[in-house]
Amino acid sequence: MRTLPPLPTSRVVDSVETVTGRKIKVRETPRRPGDPPFLLGNPARAFGASMATTVQDLDEIIRTAWERLCKSPDVSTEMNEACMEAPPSDEWN
Protein backbone atom coordinates (compact mmCIF):
# COMPACT_ATOMS: atom_id res chain seq x y z
CA MET A 1 0.00 0.00 0.00
CA ARG A 2 1.31 3.42 -0.90
CA THR A 3 0.80 6.53 1.16
CA LEU A 4 0.52 10.07 -0.13
CA PRO A 5 -0.99 13.27 1.16
CA PRO A 6 -4.58 13.83 0.02
CA LEU A 7 -4.72 14.87 -3.64
CA PRO A 8 -7.52 16.36 -5.72
CA THR A 9 -9.12 14.05 -8.26
CA SER A 10 -7.93 16.37 -11.04
CA ARG A 11 -4.30 15.64 -10.03
CA VAL A 12 -4.94 11.88 -10.30
CA VAL A 13 -6.55 12.33 -13.73
CA ASP A 14 -3.59 14.46 -14.89
CA SER A 15 -1.16 11.77 -13.73
CA VAL A 16 -3.04 8.96 -15.47
CA GLU A 17 -3.14 10.98 -18.70
CA THR A 18 0.58 11.71 -18.46
CA VAL A 19 1.62 8.14 -17.73
CA THR A 20 -0.69 6.39 -20.21
CA GLY A 21 -0.55 9.01 -22.94
CA ARG A 22 -4.34 8.81 -23.21
CA LYS A 23 -6.97 11.49 -22.65
CA ILE A 24 -9.60 10.70 -20.01
CA LYS A 25 -13.13 11.97 -20.47
CA VAL A 26 -14.06 13.82 -17.29
CA ARG A 27 -17.48 15.03 -16.26
CA GLU A 28 -17.40 17.27 -13.22
CA THR A 29 -20.50 17.13 -11.04
CA PRO A 30 -21.29 18.24 -7.51
CA ARG A 31 -20.54 15.78 -4.75
CA ARG A 32 -23.50 13.51 -4.05
CA PRO A 33 -25.13 13.55 -0.62
CA GLY A 34 -23.12 11.31 1.67
CA ASP A 35 -19.94 11.34 -0.45
CA PRO A 36 -16.88 12.06 1.71
CA PRO A 37 -14.70 15.05 0.78
CA PHE A 38 -11.65 12.71 0.68
CA LEU A 39 -10.67 9.13 1.50
CA LEU A 40 -7.80 8.00 3.67
CA GLY A 41 -6.27 4.57 4.16
CA ASN A 42 -4.17 3.37 7.07
CA PRO A 43 -1.42 0.94 5.97
CA ALA A 44 -0.86 -0.14 9.57
CA ARG A 45 -4.47 -1.31 9.77
CA ALA A 46 -4.25 -3.00 6.38
CA PHE A 47 -0.98 -4.86 6.98
CA GLY A 48 -0.29 -4.62 10.71
CA ALA A 49 1.79 -2.11 12.63
CA SER A 50 5.09 -3.80 11.75
CA MET A 51 4.56 -3.60 7.99
CA ALA A 52 6.86 -1.07 6.35
CA THR A 53 5.36 1.13 3.65
CA THR A 54 6.98 2.76 0.68
CA VAL A 55 6.07 6.34 -0.08
CA GLN A 56 6.16 7.10 -3.79
CA ASP A 57 5.03 9.95 -5.95
CA LEU A 58 1.67 9.66 -7.69
CA ASP A 59 3.15 9.27 -11.19
CA GLU A 60 5.23 6.31 -9.99
CA ILE A 61 2.17 4.65 -8.44
CA ILE A 62 0.15 5.11 -11.65
CA ARG A 63 3.09 3.95 -13.81
CA THR A 64 3.51 0.78 -11.72
CA ALA A 65 -0.22 -0.01 -11.86
CA TRP A 66 -0.32 0.63 -15.63
CA GLU A 67 2.73 -1.58 -16.18
CA ARG A 68 1.21 -4.45 -14.22
CA LEU A 69 -2.12 -4.09 -16.00
CA CYS A 70 -0.45 -4.11 -19.42
CA LYS A 71 1.56 -7.23 -18.57
CA SER A 72 -1.46 -9.13 -17.25
CA PRO A 73 -2.56 -12.11 -19.37
CA ASP A 74 -6.19 -11.29 -18.51
CA VAL A 75 -6.19 -7.86 -20.19
CA SER A 76 -9.04 -7.26 -22.65
CA THR A 77 -8.34 -6.60 -26.33
CA GLU A 78 -9.36 -2.94 -25.90
CA MET A 79 -7.03 -2.51 -22.94
CA ASN A 80 -4.22 -4.34 -24.72
CA GLU A 81 -4.51 -1.82 -27.57
CA ALA A 82 -4.38 1.03 -25.05
CA CYS A 83 -1.23 -0.46 -23.54
CA MET A 84 0.39 -0.66 -26.97
CA GLU A 85 -0.35 3.03 -27.57
CA ALA A 86 1.09 4.14 -24.24
CA PRO A 87 4.35 6.07 -24.36
CA PRO A 88 7.40 3.85 -23.77
CA SER A 89 8.99 3.96 -20.37
CA ASP A 90 12.59 3.02 -19.61
CA GLU A 91 11.39 1.77 -16.24
CA TRP A 92 9.33 -0.94 -17.94
CA ASN A 93 12.39 -2.73 -19.32
Q: Can you tell me the mean pLDDT for 10-21? A: 90
CA dihedral 68, 70, 76, 77 (to 10 degrees): -170
CA distances from 93 to 4, 5, 28, 63, 71 (A): 26, 29, 36, 13, 12
Residue 22 has pLDDT above 60, yes or no: yes
Look at residue 92 in the predicted model and tell me its pLDDT: 42
The residues, any chain, with a CB within 8 Å of residue 24's CB and separated by 6 or more, are 13, 16, 17
pLDDT tens-digit profile of 58-83? 888 888 888 888 887 777 766 767 77
Over residues 8-37, mean pLDDT: 89
Is pLDDT above 50 for 93? no
